[in-house]
Chains A and B, each alone.
Chain A
């Protein structure tokens, strides 16, 4: 929701850097425009904000808030890249790794995966302390062009919003509660829905991990040329400042 009344701009700071924002903008929207990257996984350009992964947690006015849903406020001092926040974000990313089965070496999303890239950006370089939950969910390969491996899903819900709001289909949704909450499809299986490989929700851009799989196109980009081989996740935003 970029502000329409651009003349009502105001400023606030992120880690001491002055940022201009417009009425109705969230902290993250203003930061993105100004070339300050706030890590995020469930948020994605062109989709409604959800505020569920919490990786974009920042400190604003002394409180921890999700930068993707919190409106920017005039004069506010926002903390983004502090050791404490980076550590908590790393905890959250580790939680997501441990909640699912993320076998990076054999995953076709490797190198293009936002979860993996976020782990690199946040220096998740050591063995983690959390227990592995090792889910065992059935692979849905019913559709001729698409497969779904929800063991690799991080519940970001980007596919849900893309299908509902962009494709106008509503192929995905959340079911269950708590640790059993997960993304499911609108029918017995994917072949039972009107999903098409050309849907925005199915595109590589929307699923940040290797959960939504487009058949027959995997592993086509050689190592060295994959998305995050070129730079850390978020570098495209940060380059705006240079």
Chain B
């Protein structure tokens, strides 16, 4: 396996396009962002969009303009999946190869694109027109298989629709025209809804039912920051991203930190395969989200906020920018909000560039600072020293939306819903083998079986609760409850019927974590590769009974020694399936015979030497007719 990075540093790199990019053009891009090194991600995204890659020469210009070294720029450019040091096609087609998309036929769709464009997955056409590649979960599992074509999202692809899309693109139509002939005339909201269905199957009382405009913010403006925090604390609201930290406490910590500035950041980087609830809120309730952020800002005394949107949701950028602009116009953002003297707050939209790890609080902050998306050392915690060293509240989209509703309807109203320790409602994004994939807003406390009945997934054989980093359960656990104390979840519920191969699912999830590990710490960077390889061994039928212990042992080391939540949960697909589907593993393991390991293939071991020596092995050659 070549685990080296293929670009730069001694290895020749293709230059973007044909002509070198003039320095003035790059300098102009940097100037757009004030030559601010903290805006590196925006700068590089802009360069990538213009020139389809970030070539070595352009990195030199970017470094010069922002006062960094070239290697620092390269560190960022080489970290994010959507940035590339080698030229990409003018149209880049990224097919989502999440497990749900695989089970929905993405490989047939891929074949059609390969055939029509004359490219293999991973290739860019010689004329620079097209790139074709796979990408991990893009948040469209309820309408798989899906793809990103530049900034456009195509959903529910079939070989037929893929063929007509590929032919239209080849004929020179723009990706936008694939969505609508009059794309330009549509509003940002109409554009989003043309591309992506929101599939709201059950609207609950808090988020997806009728929501009055800015009632929570109006309330927040009339009470003190301390009273806002108390209300959030009394409601029992816990973070909806997965970790479940008490929101009120987080705000209180940040508010009590004395500093020149405070920040509020919204984590709209849901990247857990199978989750798409924030996508729905961002489309359907963008005002409620900004309202929640504004309330948080008043609570902790922040004047600046950042909405960090995952790169996969770039199709929502215009919509969100429009909402921010509208709220500025209406005096709901900016100076003296709602006429309250000193209540100043504004938000900048920060787009990610394809990195799951940026959903981790510290990595998200690093990314906002223009750095590679690497988690930060804790302590200090973000509430003490976060974005640029200032106290920072990071909450996810759903949490902010809840907070706005709590201010409007009161803490007791919210607290009465759900169960002890898990109050209020939760958005579940359900996908996979069920009749009605989509969004369900339910109070905490439903059992998995009840949820399966609602979604038409009664014949499920396995359910992945909380995405790959969560728990995979079998039929004998469907009585368990969806709460923080039993089956905790950020919202992703993936249903698998009896036809699905559990080990295939586990292998995909491990490959996902290998792809998405930031690489900072040893156990996550290296250990996950070993876990993935070990699962491959099981799938090939080459595993021994001792390999079960190996899986558990290695998983234990990765969990205990990893630096952040990714490595602390990445072995979960292995561990939870070992626990809940033991027969799947024992069915494929074989004891070694005669002390010879099945995994050791002498033929392939000596093959290299055999070729060099140009001689056959009379002992080990099986086939003398070759």
Contact = CB atoms under 8 A, between A and B. Distances in A.
Contacts of B501: none
Interface string A62-87: 00101001010000000000000000
A51 interface: yes
Interface in B53-75: 56, 69-72, 74-75
A91 B10 contact: no
Nearest to B80: A177
Interface string B493-520: 0000000000000000000001111111
Nearest to A139: B10
A187 interface: yes
Given A180-B3, A182-B4, A92 B557 contact: yes
B71 A137 contact: no
Interface residues of B, number: 47
Interface string B170-207: 00000000000000000000000000000000000000
B142 to A, nearest CB: 28
Contact of A176 (B79, B522, B533, B560): B79
A53 B522 contact: yes
Interface in A88-142: 88, 91-92, 95-96, 98-99, 129-131, 133-138, 140, 142
B519 A180 contact: yes
A175 interface: yes
A95 B533 CA distance: 14
The secondary structure that dominates the A interface is loop
Interface residues of A, number: 50
Contacts of B355: 177
A140 to B, nearest CB: 5
B514 A179 contact: yes
A177 B526 contact: no
Contact of A175 (B78, B379, B515): B78
B1 interface: yes
B1 A133 contact: yes
Nearest to B524: A178
A143 B367 CA distance: 34
Contacts of A99: 3, 522, 525-526
B523 A51 contact: no
B304 to A, nearest CB: 28
B521 interface: yes
A184 B9 contact: yes
B515 A131 contact: no
A20 interface: no
B232 to A, nearest CB: 27
A8 to B, nearest CB: 18
Nearest to A169: B69
10 nearest CB pairs, A to B: A181-B519, A173-B71, A176-B5, A186-B71, A137-B4, A95-B526, A178-B517, A184-B9, A175-B78, A91-B557
22 contacts: A51-B521, A52-B522, A53-B521, A91-B523, A91-B527, A92-B523, A92-B557, A95-B522, A96-B522, A131-B533, A142-B10, A170-B72, A172-B71, A175-B8, A175-B75, A175-B78, A177-B519, A179-B525, A179-B526, A181-B519, A182-B4, A187-B70
